[in-house]
Amino acid sequence: MNKKSPLSAFSAAILICGLVLGSAIIFGTVQASTDVIGIITSDTTWTKVNSPYSLMGPTAVGEGVTLTIEAGATVNLN
């Protein structure tokens, strides 16, 4: 009769959980984007931290309004 010790089963479970969690940490990084559409009506700065900025449709900068795009910020034109 082939008996597995409870310690071996526990060790295997810990190893599997570690691999799953490790995979989620390595492969589970998701970067949210900032969706933009319409007229930008006030002075705005697009930062690297909040990028990528995704233009989801017609987008314009209102008259007299300044849009500053920080170095390193990503803008997706779709």
Tens digit of pLDDT for each residue in 44-75? 999 999 999 999 999 999 999 999 999 999 99
Whether residue 1 lies inside any domain: the answer is: no
Q: Whole domain around residue 70: which residue ranges?
A: 6-76
State how many domains the chain has.
1
**Model confidence band, residue 8 (pLDDT cutoffs 50, 70, 90):** low
Q: What are the C-alpha distances in Å from 15 to residues 39, 46, 77?
A: 52, 43, 43
Whether residue 56 lies inside any domain: the answer is: yes
Please give the mean pLDDT across all residues of the chain: 78
Return the residue matching tokens 């233009």: 55
Whether residue 21 lies inside any domain: the answer is: yes
